Structures are given as C-alpha cells and as structure tokens.
Amino acid sequence: MLRNVESVYGISKFAAKSSNAKEENKSTAISTNIPKPEKIVLDNGLKIISQHMPYASSSALNIAVKVGSVNENDDISGISHFIEHMMFKGTKTRSALDIAKQSENVGVELNAFTDKEITNYHGKMLNENLPVIVDLILDMLFNSKIDKKELELERRVILEEIKMYEDSPQELAMEEALSSVWSGHPMGRPVIGTNEIVSGISRNSIVTYLDKFYKPDNMAISIAGNCSNLDKIIKQVRKFTSNIRGESIKQNMPPLYFKSGVTIKKKDIEQAHLVLLMKGLAMTDEDRYALSVLNDALGGGSSSRLFQEIREKRGLVYTVNSFSDTSSLGGVFGIYAGFSSKHLKSILKIAKEELSTVKKDGLNPDELARAKTKARTSLLFKLESSAKNSIQNIYQDLFHNRFIAPDEINEKVQSVTNDKIIELANKLFDLENCSITVVGPKKGLPKKIELSD
C-alpha cells in the first residue's frame, strides 16, 4: 500500500512545512484508471462482483463460499477442507477427469483453498474462456455427486496431506501456536482437521454440511480482468442458479480470547522453529493500517529490525520475520524464526528487546517512510493483477461489506504517525502475556521455557 523518505515523511519537516502538504500528498497519491468494482445481487442472494481492467488480456475468477473451519464442530473438524477436495471429484454430468480435462483444454488450472472463514475456488483464464470455467465451477459446487468410492480415495489423499504438514516443522509450529492461543474456540481448530477425525467423516455429514452452507446467499462470484462479456456471464449465472434457493445457516461466534503460554514439541529434525505470538487485530479494525506499517518495519524485509539484529549482525538464523494473522473475529501478531536450538534464548531475548524498544520509541523517520513506500508500491502492483483484484474484492465484500478504494487505503497508511505506532505497540505487545511455541530437535531444546525468558 507506498514513497520518498525523510524529505517527505520526516515528522519535524512535515509539521514545519504545512505549506507543502498539498504537494507532498500528491507525490504519494495512488493514480489509477481502473474502474471501481461493481456488484449485483441475484434474487436468490448470490452476489456477482466485477471489475473491468481494460488493459488486461486475461480474467481472474473467484467463487467463494463464506464457510470454513470456524463453522465446524469438534466431531467434524476438517470437513470444510474435505468438501473443497470433493468438489473436484465429479458432478452428475462430469467425472473428476472431465473436470480436469475441460479446464486444462482452455489452459486453466483450477484450484481452491480453505481457510478459517472462507472456502474459495479460483482460476485465471483468457477472456473468451470465462463462460467455460464459470459453468464448470458452478456445476462442481451445486451438482457434486459426493461419490462414495471417490470419497474414500480422497480421504486417503487428505490423510497424506496431514502427514505432509506434520513433516513441515514451520507449518507445525504455526498450527501449534494458533491452536494454543485460541484453545477451546472454533478459531483454534486446524483447517485441515486431524487424522482421527478426518478418518471418521461420513458422506452423510458432508451432504448435511453442504446443505447448510453451500447456498447462493452464502456465496460470491468475483471477476476481474478485461471481461467485455460480463452481461453474458451474468445471464449464464442467473440461468444456472435460477432454481437454487434456500437460506444458509447463520452462526454466531463466541468472542475470541487470547491465551498465553508455552508449548514445546520435539521432533526428529535439525532446526528449532519459534513462533512468538501476541494479540493482533480483527481484519476490520481501523488500526490495521498502522499495524501493516509496524509489521513491515519490524520484520517485513531485509532492512527490518529483526532481520538486521538477528541475522545480519549476529548470524543466528536463516529466516526471521514478523507477521499479522487476521480474521473477522480477531487476530494475532507474531514473530517466526528458524535456527539451531542452542540460540533459542538469545533470539527470544533480542526479539523481546526490539518489541520493547518499539513500545518505548516507535520507529525512526527512515523506517516509517520506508514502510509506507513499500506499502504504496505493493498496492500499485496489486492493482495491475487481475487475480489479486478479484480475491481482494471477494474479501472486502464478504467481510467489510464495501469496496475500499486504493486511494483510501493509501491515505490511511500515509497518515500513520509514530505516536500511533507507539500507541499500537503498547496495546498489542504484552510480553508478560504472550505465547511461545517451539518445535525443535529432541536434543538441544531446554526442558522448560518461561514467558519471562
């Protein structure tokens, strides 16, 4: 979501040279000729979002269902992800191979992902092939057979996928960390489920879950690109879904509470993997713009504080970064590092020192300017991508209930002050009530870690 450093963003200069404010704001403005997203809602509640990008030779399509692991209960944990897989396994008129061939016949690799609050099916294609892929995905979502034989085959695939994640210490450390801080809450469940529960999910459970959530009023279609045939697509979708009615189940989620603590998991691996978590922000929180600036300066690149202090000056890690994981209910702010286990306490000490310094002093003018410049640059790059525009429009509609203009995002990021950074750091960086998760080798990790370490 941003430009030049001290001459524009130095706080004292900005305050002193108010006569140049208009020129300075102009130099960091977002200038784009891309039309705004538009939305129509069909009679059955299905939303169609479109954004015309006249310079593009392709279009990106996302069809999202507002359902994910938070909508499950403990007995069917992982069912949203299981269903995502089953949507590719055949419909009443297409086999799994038909789906694969018909998409690849027009040069499209269909894909999907499941998250805590959304399941999304997507592809990128030449404009003339958009009707083919729209028809294909709609058929998958509304006419899936959930064939018993295919279900058992796909169950085995997912169980292998679970093993793959368990063999990835970085993924495992992140999942353990999130499960710990949100223990007892739907947000704490792993999206993929567990071996035991996935092994027991029945066809009847899948059909019942589909009937609850895979309804037009719980879905959105987003198209971005040079979609000159949009009227044809709208007619196509309206015709396909005209007889599909019924309301999806609406659920009220309990409040999200952050739980501090220490988790140590030992495996037969070489490196230790640390995830340090603190409270974060919900995706609609207005402080998210300040958090994006803070995140970048703290651990977002090779000039960031954590990278410089832990890797460049001391050589203790190969990878270190900070991150923000967010949802409509809340979020976490965290630090990840991979290293030899003997360096654990040193890395924790340095990371906490840097967090404490930000709480006290915030960022220096160069850091603040650089983070804003990177944000503006990233925002402009995203505007050139049909795929990124399409998925962004989905999230903004489903979770913000409006489309947020690039100018607004840019303006709010540019307006972040160091006082706001300090205020936010003191709000989030409670180092006495954080969460520490370490996945590491069986030998070399301490038997016990204190939050005060």
**Which positions are catalytic?**
84
Dihedral sign of CA atoms 271, 437, 277, 65 in order: positive
Helix segments in 228-343, DSSP class H: 230-241, 288-299, 305-306
Strands 272-279 and 119-126: unpaired
Long-range residue pairs from 112-116, CB within 8 A, at least 24 positions apart, any chain:
112/84, 112/87, 112/88, 113/84, 114/68, 114/69, 114/80, 114/81, 114/84, 114/191, 115/68, 115/69, 115/191, 116/68, 116/69, 116/70, 116/187, 116/191, 116/327
Q: Which residues pair with 114 in a beta bridge?
A: 119
* Burial profile 437-447: b = 16 or more Cβ within 10 angstroms, e = fewer: bbbbbeeebee
Helix (H) or strand (E) holding 174: helix 169-181
d(CA 35, CA 55): 11
**If DSSP codes are grouped into helix, strand and coil, which group holds residue 220?**
strand
d(CA 177, CA 277): 7
d(CA 133, CA 105): 11
Nearest to 208 by CA among 95, 88, 96, 71: 71
- The two tokens of residue 222 are 């987003």
DSSP labels, 86-110: HTTSBBSS-BHHHHHHHHHTTT---
